[in-house]
Amino acid sequence: MADNVLSKVALSRRSWTRRSARDSHTDVATVPVLSVGGYARADGGPPAFGSASHQFTPASSLETLPPVSLSNLDGDPAPLAAGQGKVLLVNIWATWCQSCLTDLPLLERFHEAVGDRVDVAAISIDKADQGLVRRYLKMISIHSVPIYLDPDERLASSSSESPAPLPIFGLPITYLITPSGRIAGYVSGISDWLTQDARKLLAYYASA
């Protein structure tokens, strides 16, 4: 089963590489520092960000993200805590998620560009052993993004009965957590956080 998953990943990865080489227009070296004042729409809400099919959805109330004990790729405890003075992007993914093949490399690129100003956590919800997750990440060249494992759904779940603080409405899904540790909202699907719209959204919440 694991070999079948990774074989499909390899085929999709080659396709994604060709698309990314053709479609990518953002030079990481020219990405501006996230120091612009808070942007807002005319109605005072956060700036629009997303794609034609998925838009950033602000939370109706800013709940605090509680500390959660997850695991790292070695199987050791890895606590995840928000409210460290920077915006935190919590990306939830799985090895069987087709769109994650594109989304994770974009997140890696973002982390390498502005990781000193925005925290990133990529959370795998795979039930398989961490060996499969490790091989998957190596295959798609993910090396720098902090990886956490959440097979027990302590942080995120698609079940309406789960006490997990982050609902899963589809994969991938990325939650934006304010510097004070509050859940600001989420965007489903593939997201490029190096775009101008994303930069405005991050700047809007940077002082929240």
Whether residue 23 is predicted with pLDDT greater than 50 in this model: the reply is no
Contact status, residue 9 vs residue 140, Cβ threshold 8 Å: yes
**Structural domains counted in the chain:** 1
Return the H-helix or E-strand segment holding 19: helix 2-23
Whether residue 78 is predicted with pLDDT greater than 50 in this model: the reply is yes
Whether residue 13 is predicted with pLDDT greater than 50 in this model: the reply is no
pTM of the shown model:
0.83
| pLDDT tens digits, 26-47 | 343 344 445 445 565 556 789 9
The domain of 38 spans: 2-205
Which domain CATH number covers 83?
3.40.30.10
Residue 14 confidence class, pLDDT cut points 50, 70, 90 = very low
Cα distances (Å, whole numbers) of residue 202 to 63, 88, 126, 149, 199: 18, 10, 28, 25, 5
CA dihedral (54, 60, 61, 66) positive or negative = negative
Residue 143 confidence class, pLDDT cut points 50, 70, 90 = very high
Whether residue 208 is predicted with pLDDT greater than 80 in this model: the reply is no
| pLDDT tens digits, 151-193 | 999 999 999 999 999 999 999 999 999 999 999 999 999 999 9
How far, in Å, CA of 29 to CA of 46, rounded? 26
Query: Region 63-72: what's the mean pLDDT?
Result: 97
